[in-house]
Amino acid sequence: MSLKVLDSYALLAFFENEKGADKVAEIIRQARDRDKPLLLTAVNWGEVLYIVARASGKAAAGKIEEIIDTFPIEIVPVDRLIAKIAAEFKAAKKMSYADCFAAALAKLKKAELVTGDSEFKGIENEIKICWL
């Protein structure tokens, strides 16, 4: 299994049992079995929490945070280099700023980005994408 970066779309699909949830569950299982953590930027982690909080309340977001903490996921802090790459994506492409951070981490780590978000179609030639 190659190094993988999760976008918030992937985690939300998993938690909401939407299209791609089974694939995300399998990716998480493989990461655990192979002791190769998945990567998630702190920005995308926060995005998952605020989306859940808006939809279902603060307590639900707290539960999601606890569950994520049990997964083989490394929350990657955003440094200047990741922010710069994200800014370059944002300046050149029509993507949300949070999505740009996931793309930046994938590019920096030469990792595969796990997502179902069509915003990433515009950068398929720049990073490898595992589509849900």
Average confidence score pLDDT of the chain: 97
Judged against a pLDDT cut of 90, whether residue 12 lies above it is answered with yes
pLDDT in tens, 76-117: 999 999 999 999 999 999 999 999 999 999 999 999 999 999
Q: Which domain holds residue 116?
A: 4-131
> Is the backbone of residue 5 left (phi > 0), alpha (psi -120 to 50) or beta?
beta
Q: What is the CATH number of the domain that holds 79?
A: 3.40.50.1010
Number of domains the chain is built from: 1
Cα separation, 48 vs 108, whole angstroms = 22
pLDDT of residue 1: 72
Question: Binning pLDDT at 50, 70 and 90, where does residue 51 land?
Answer: very high
